[in-house]
Amino acid sequence: MYRQGRQLHSSLFTIFVAPNRLGRTRLGITASRKVSKSAVVRNRCRRRLREVFRRQQATLPVGWDIVVNVKFQLTTASYALIEQEFTRLMEKLSKLAAGSPAEPTGEVSD
């Protein structure tokens, strides 16, 4: 996943995307102890990202695996900012999905 896919960067998280052949888009979230030593805080980050994904799932391109690596800045970010950054990166993914080959490789940065 990490070697085959693309990276999309934000100040709050890094997203790794790779195509899948399942006909649906899947989400994975990693929040290490570097983000926060508190499991409560890390779980809150995961819940917020899952909710953003759930609310935008209908507009996302189909057939992608998305792994979100949480950064420390997400712990204090507002829900609106998280949603804004996620939306911005998913728009980039939509552009990639529309005009890229079946197996994208390399890095996409801002």
Predicted confidence (pLDDT) at residue 106 exceeds the cutoff of 80:
no
pTM confidence score: 0.80
Question: For residue 58, what pLDDT is reported?
Answer: 87
DSSP character at residue 62: S
The three-state secondary structure class of 86 is: helix
DSSP character at residue 21: S
The domain defined by 6-93 carries CATH number 2.70.70.10: no
Question: Where are the domains positioned within the chain?
Answer: 6-93
Range in 13-17, 72-76, 79-83, 95-99 with the lowest mean pLDDT: 95-99
pLDDT digits (tens, 9 = 90+) for 16-64: 998 888 888 899 999 999 999 999 999 999 999 999 999 998 888 888 8
Question: For residue 70, what pLDDT is reported?
Answer: 94
The total number of residues shown for the chain amounts to: 110
The span from the CA of 62 to the CA of 109, in Å, is: 22
